[in-house]
Chain A
Amino acid sequence: MNRITAFMLYNQFSKSMSSNLSSLNTVQQQLSTGKQLTQPSDDVVALRGAMAYKVSINNLEQYDKNLDEGISMLSLTESSLSSSTNLLNRARELALAESNDTSTSDTKLVTAYEVRNLLSEMVDLGNTKLKDKYIYSGYMSKTQTFSSTGTYQGDSNNIDIFIGDGIKSRMNVTGDVAFSDTTKLVTGSLPTTMSGNIRITSDAGTPYYLKAGDVFANATPEAVRDTINAPMTRNYLTADTVGEGTLTLKAGSGNATTLQVAATDTLTDVRANINALNMGITAGIFTDGANERLFFKPTTTGEGISIEVSDIDGNDIDTSGLSELLHTELKSNLTENALGVEALIFDDGTNNKKMVMEATPANTTFTIEVDENDNGNFGDPDDIDTVTPDGLALLYHQSSAVSNLAGNSISFFSIMQHFDNALSTNDREGIQASILFMDGALNSVVNTTADVGSRLKYFQDQQVRLEDNGFSFKKSLSLLEDADIAASAMELTKIQTTLEAMRIASVKNLTQSLFDFLG
């Protein structure tokens, strides 16, 4: 058996005492700070987890603030866009009212006055500010978005913010998009006359050439427009001679005129003969690459024309002889715009004529190629002219990538100004063009509003999601670093009991010695 000395008892007591006191200190610290992780060495793995969670929570809080910023920006954008929708709707109502026959120049002038007010309201909307920042100016938020005449002065940059780990999202719409209709194809300012040849290809169509001399020799913009808009007939006459027979031509409400075609008449002869009749139908020749073809159009835009054939070969509806002119396609296309493009001319308010072009029917695409000097080549630099287009090249339109038209979006302010201008000059076509623009503008603003709205919804959802994530992160963090108060309190009681027992025992044991009993 081991010898036990008093010293050993003392040592044992003081060691146990200090270890218990140190446990007491730990528990005390846990209870007073509420944390069980007070230094890295307490639990290195938990600390790493806790640090990662803290970073995540910290980030989430910052993303939340970013989202607040984005949401206030988008909300303001949304509400100003909805105001601009209302303005456009009102303007469209006015345009509809003024485009009918009952409107007079007087009513138009009154309306023009209201339109001017709408315009300045629209400019104010475009210059909406949030905390000293023009929200529609892109990066150039300190620059007034639109001048008083509606010139865009910002840039087209999107402002991205972080709304989650690695998730960047746009929180703005620039004014050049929000206040413009990009669906319309508009030319630059047109010169008074233009010359050359154009080739128009509609969606899934065949290319058609308009031969120089036939159409565009010092033609006015209106003439070009009419040619593009006119319903044309086509046929497939390929021989030098067209075949013998009689044509009965009728334009609008005019009288029918007959024309004898001799066996020796060529396509050029027929064209010349028809045009010589001067009875409301203009004939022309175009080539579709390989073949020459004859086309007809009403001399007065908008009038219907009809052509009947009496073929010498006895069959008036087959595709041989003169009746080839009345082949099925010709009949069915007679009143349609064969070129697949509809053009309108408007004054942009600065006495410049511009042409707006739309595909017909809607949702088709078209190409306009130009041969300004009529050399048969449609790709000369002069014909494309993308840098400073002039002449017919102003109409050049290959695709959105190479085009003199694409990007020529028309701002809502310009639309208002055109409308104002058309009203002031009593220009009915201008008013119709305005309606066309307003339809596009409304479409465009609806699209923009939908985009902003869904973005706003996304931001709000993201905020909720971040809150959820933050909550679960905080819970995980708490599990790692927070003390279990109940368990700590129990532990405290346990240690206290132990300490008390130790003190009592030590008082009884350590004070005793044999010397106490020696007399």
Chain B
Amino acid sequence: MSILALFDIGRSGIFANQLALRVTSNNIANINTPGYSRQDAIMQIANPIEVQGKYIGRGVGDVEIRRHYDNFTFIQIVGQSTSYGRSAALQSGLSNVEQIFNEAQDFGLSNTMEDYFNAWQRLSTNPSDPSARSELLVNAEAFTNTAKQIETELKNSLKFLNNEVDDIVDQINVLSNSIAEINGKIMEVEAGGLETANVFRDQRERLMKDLAEIIDYDFNEGKDGTVTIVAGRKSIVASVESFQFTSSLTVDGDRDIFSDGKNITSFISGGKLGGFISVRDDIKNNSLTDLRKMVASIRQETNAIHSGGYDKSNPPVNGVNFFDALQMYERDDTDGRSAASISTVVTDQSPTGLTSLSEYDIVFIDAANIEVRNHATGVVEQTEVYASGVAFNVNGIDVMITGAGATSPAAGDSFFVSPIYYGARDFNVALTAGSQVATSQDATSPAEDNRNALDMVTLHSSTIANLDNNTFNDHYAEIVSTVGSMNQSASDSFEFDDNLLFELQNRREAMSGVSLDEEAANLIRFQRAFEAGARIIKLTDELLELVINL
């Protein structure tokens, strides 16, 4: 064996430890990089050679750079991120709505409603006092404004949530794109099975964790190292290709998610996207609908009593509404594709005429038969045989669908009819002067006749058939406490999910995180090894010199 072999051994030590120092330095440099998994330089003995019948090592061989990583933890983190994203979205959306119904701090609708009914009481004790009349109108207006404001804020929340949905769809598209791209790189690096694409995998895992936070998905890794991701029953990443989601507005004003032209909104339940969609539906189906229903009911009941009384005009007038009359809302729910048209009329808006404040879907099960379904419950309330231009009555609403020949309705055509859709939007005091307030039930309207006002006061504590036999106060308290308990449970699950995710990240950190102490020790270790290697070369040099000088 040649003395020169010592050079090789020394050199292999220097190179290997230099590489290890680079890995260590890289670890230190990336200590704060999210998603980074610490790496180790794993040194291997170089294959020994036979010298004089003995096998002698030739120094350090290949150095493998290994990434500390646990796939099971990663899968858990992906799953938990989805729950976390949903909880976070629910909590932020609902606490926003909760602020709108700010009953705990006395700024909510309840107060102005009390003031309004109290104004009726004051008027009932002093029906001849013009100031009590104008006070009632002022209070009524404050009441209507607060209700309208709450509705507007709820609609703004919905708008905000729809914008979020739109943003998230963009994010999903960016992420799926990037993941597909990285898939390609990993496939390239790992082709041949020799190298592991450590850095790209770290990057991809980070992206997948980000994606998990905004949408629920299933994934699996192929043999070539690429992942396939399926979300909303559509694959969004397959090998190096990605498929985009789009979002667009539907007839009812919501932003829904489409893939390949199909509405997949209902298939998305997790992540922020699932959370926001869920909050949106909660607000629409509970808070907003219930608020509109309550306001519509107040308008209906108040007007019924008020129009039965006589005001202070000369001569006294009766049959006048206190609030604006309810306005019907109807729309073609098949995205305007139905050839037929719909119109609705309510001839008697009083609670005895309009006997329900439900919303309905009028659905053509075929060209001749109609089902009237309760919009909230989906229950079929009545069935009708279609006749163009002939009205049928649904709990006081005369519904008329017109279309014959070319404009005939087809199976699947659906119309939405609601007596409460504009319930809060059009909540206005119809009267313009205090003298128009009908306090009397006598055609001569004597000054102190307060019977109509007393009836109005009684209304305050009456159970209302159209509100499921709740009083106005009960119904409103129900709205607020529903939002409250939804937010309460969202907060609880957010806290739970947050903690769980934190624990999982700690677990990942324990495995993959960089420890400065460890790296400092490694630095010294590799530095010393490097120095020792150098010394071997120096020693070899001295030996050679000695030999040469012989």
How many residue pairs between the two chains, A and B, have CB atoms under 8 Å in the bound complex?
171
CA distance A45 to B505 in the complex (A): 36
Given A142-B128, A165-B461, residue A7 in contact with residue B513 (CB < 8 A): yes
Does A51 interact with chain B (Cβ within 8 Å)? yes
How many residues of B are in contact with the other chain, CB < 8 A? 58
CA distance A133 to B126 in the complex (A): 10
**Is there contact, CB below 8 Å, between B484 and A44?**
yes
**Is there contact, CB below 8 Å, between B448 and A41?**
no
Q: Which A48-79 residues have a C-beta within 8 angstroms of B?
A: 48, 50-52, 54-55, 58-59, 62-63, 65-66, 69-70
Type the 1/0 row for B403-433, where 1 means its CB is closer than 8 Å to any CB of A: 0000000000000000000000000000000
Given A6-B516, A139-B448, residue A160 in contact with residue B454 (CB < 8 A): yes
CA distance A66 to B110 in the complex (A): 21
Of the candidates A138, A162, A513, which one forms a contact with B446 in the assembled complex, judged by CB atoms under 8 Å apart?
Answer: A138
CA distance A415 to B189 in the complex (A): 121
**Is there contact, CB below 8 Å, between A62 and B481?**
no
Does A331 interact with chain B (Cβ within 8 Å)? no
Q: Which of A8, A39, A137 gathers the greatest number of chain B CB atoms within 10 Å? A: A39
Does A159 interact with chain B (Cβ within 8 Å)? yes
Of the candidates B128, B518, B521, which one forms a contact with A141 in the assembled complex, judged by CB atoms under 8 Å apart?
Answer: B128
CA distance A12 to B503 in the complex (A): 10
A312 to chain B, nearest CB (A): 74
Given A8-B513, A41-B95, residue A162 in contact with residue B104 (CB < 8 A): no
Given A8-B509, A69-B125, A140-B447, residue A40 in contact with residue B454 (CB < 8 A): no
Q: Which B92-126 residues have a C-beta within 8 angstroms of A?
A: 94-95, 98-99, 101-106, 110, 114, 118, 121-122, 124-126
CA distance A168 to B95 in the complex (A): 42
Q: Which B29-44 residues have a C-beta within 8 angstroms of A?
A: 31-32
B77 to chain A, nearest CB (A): 14
Does A166 interact with chain B (Cβ within 8 Å)? yes
Does B510 interact with chain A (Cβ within 8 Å)? yes
Does B485 interact with chain A (Cβ within 8 Å)? yes
B481 to chain A, nearest CB (A): 5
A50 CB contacts on chain B under 8 angstroms: 104
**Is there contact, CB below 8 Å, between A514 and B516?**
yes
Of the candidates B95, B103, B461, B524, which one forms a contact with A518 in the assembled complex, judged by CB atoms under 8 Å apart?
Answer: B524
A242 to chain B, nearest CB (A): 64
A275 to chain B, nearest CB (A): 59
Does A307 interact with chain B (Cβ within 8 Å)? no
**Is there contact, CB below 8 Å, between A5 and B515?**
yes
CA distance A6 to B517 in the complex (A): 9
B98 CB contacts on chain A under 8 angstroms: 39-41
A74 to chain B, nearest CB (A): 13
Given A5-B510, A66-B125, residue A139 in contact with residue B110 (CB < 8 A): no
Given A3-B510, A8-B509, A39-B484, residue A162 in contact with residue B124 (CB < 8 A): yes
Does A460 interact with chain B (Cβ within 8 Å)? no
**Is there contact, CB below 8 Å, between B450 and A38?**
no
**Is there contact, CB below 8 Å, between A162 and B457?**
yes
**Is there contact, CB below 8 Å, between B511 and A3?**
yes
A165 CB contacts on chain B under 8 angstroms: 461
CA distance A157 to B121 in the complex (A): 19
Type the 1/0 row for B476-509, where 1 means its CB is closer than 8 Å to any CB of A: 0100110111011001000000000010011001
B448 to chain A, nearest CB (A): 4
Given A514-B516, A515-B520, residue A161 in contact with residue B481 (CB < 8 A): no
**Is there contact, CB below 8 Å, between A4 and B510?**
yes
Given A8-B510, A141-B128, residue A52 in contact with residue B473 (CB < 8 A): yes
CA distance A15 to B495 in the complex (A): 12
A41 to chain B, nearest CB (A): 4
A37 CB contacts on chain B under 8 angstroms: 104
> In the complex, what residue of chain B is closest to A45 when comparing beta carbons?
B481
**Is there contact, CB below 8 Å, between B485 and A44?**
yes
Given A6-B516, A52-B477, A515-B516, residue A141 in contact with residue B450 (CB < 8 A): no
CA distance A69 to B110 in the complex (A): 26
Does B216 interact with chain A (Cβ within 8 Å)? no
Does B371 interact with chain A (Cβ within 8 Å)? no
**Is there contact, CB below 8 Å, between A3 and B454?**
no
A173 to chain B, nearest CB (A): 13
B313 to chain A, nearest CB (A): 15
Of the candidates A11, A52, A132, A160, which one forms a contact with B450 in the assembled complex, judged by CB atoms under 8 Å apart?
Answer: A160
> In the complex, what residue of chain A is closest to B513 when comparing beta carbons?
A5
Does B311 interact with chain A (Cβ within 8 Å)? no
Does A155 interact with chain B (Cβ within 8 Å)? yes
CA distance A133 to B446 in the complex (A): 12
A335 to chain B, nearest CB (A): 53
**Is there contact, CB below 8 Å, between B440 and A58?**
no
Of the candidates B124, B458, B481, B518, which one forms a contact with A48 in the assembled complex, judged by CB atoms under 8 Å apart?
Answer: B481
CA distance A38 to B484 in the complex (A): 11
Does B256 interact with chain A (Cβ within 8 Å)? no
Size range of the chain A interface in the assembly: 35 or more
Q: Which of B101, B105, B458, B491 gathers the greatest number of chain A CB atoms within 10 Å? A: B105
Does A47 interact with chain B (Cβ within 8 Å)? yes
Does B449 interact with chain A (Cβ within 8 Å)? yes
CA distance A161 to B473 in the complex (A): 21
Of the candidates A11, A12, A44, A66, which one forms a contact with B481 in the assembled complex, judged by CB atoms under 8 Å apart?
Answer: A44
**Is there contact, CB below 8 Å, between A40 and B483?**
yes
Given A11-B509, A40-B104, A515-B516, residue A139 in contact with residue B502 (CB < 8 A): no
Does A269 interact with chain B (Cβ within 8 Å)? no
Does A429 interact with chain B (Cβ within 8 Å)? no
Q: Which of A133, A155, A513, A514 gathers the greatest number of chain B CB atoms within 10 Å? A: A514
**Is there contact, CB below 8 Å, between B125 and A4?**
no
Does A500 interact with chain B (Cβ within 8 Å)? no
CA distance A69 to B513 in the complex (A): 77
Does B330 interact with chain A (Cβ within 8 Å)? no
Of the candidates B99, B448, B477, B520, which one forms a contact with A138 in the assembled complex, judged by CB atoms under 8 Å apart?
Answer: B448
> In the complex, what residue of chain B is closest to A133 when comparing beta carbons?
B128
B481 CB contacts on chain A under 8 angstroms: 40, 44-45, 47-48
Does A351 interact with chain B (Cβ within 8 Å)? no
Of the candidates A38, A52, A139, A518, which one forms a contact with B440 in the assembled complex, judged by CB atoms under 8 Å apart?
Answer: A139
Q: Which A103-145 residues have a C-beta within 8 angstroms of B?
A: 132-133, 137-143
CA distance A8 to B442 in the complex (A): 80
> In the complex, what residue of chain A is closest to B113 when comparing beta carbons?
A55
**Is there contact, CB below 8 Å, between A39 and B457?**
no
Does A481 interact with chain B (Cβ within 8 Å)? yes
B451 CB contacts on chain A under 8 angstroms: 160
Of the candidates B32, B103, B442, B513, which one forms a contact with A3 in the assembled complex, judged by CB atoms under 8 Å apart?
Answer: B513
**Is there contact, CB below 8 Å, between B446 and A139?**
yes
**Is there contact, CB below 8 Å, between B515 and A3?**
yes
B520 to chain A, nearest CB (A): 4
**Is there contact, CB below 8 Å, between B521 and A140?**
no
Does A428 interact with chain B (Cβ within 8 Å)? no
Does B291 interact with chain A (Cβ within 8 Å)? no
A515 CB contacts on chain B under 8 angstroms: 516, 520
A311 to chain B, nearest CB (A): 71
B440 CB contacts on chain A under 8 angstroms: 139
CA distance A515 to B24 in the complex (A): 14
B517 CB contacts on chain A under 8 angstroms: 6, 513-514
Does B257 interact with chain A (Cβ within 8 Å)? no
**Is there contact, CB below 8 Å, between A40 and B101?**
yes
B502 CB contacts on chain A under 8 angstroms: 11, 15
A171 CB contacts on chain B under 8 angstroms: 125
Chain A interface residues toward B at CB < 8 A: 2-8, 11-12, 15, 33, 35, 37-42, 44-45, 47-48, 50-52, 54-55, 58-59, 62-63, 65-66, 69-70, 132-133, 137-143, 155, 157, 159-162, 165-166, 168, 171-172, 481, 513-515, 518
Q: 9 other contacts beyond A141-B446, A159-B448, with CB at 8 A cut-off?
A: A3-B510, A5-B509, A6-B516, A12-B506, A47-B104, A54-B110, A59-B118, A66-B124, A140-B448
6 nearest interchain CB pairs?
A: A40-B484, A139-B446, A514-B520, A5-B513, A41-B487, A139-B449
Q: List 6 A-B contacts (CB under 8 A).
A: A4-B515, A47-B480, A51-B473, A54-B106, A168-B454, A514-B517
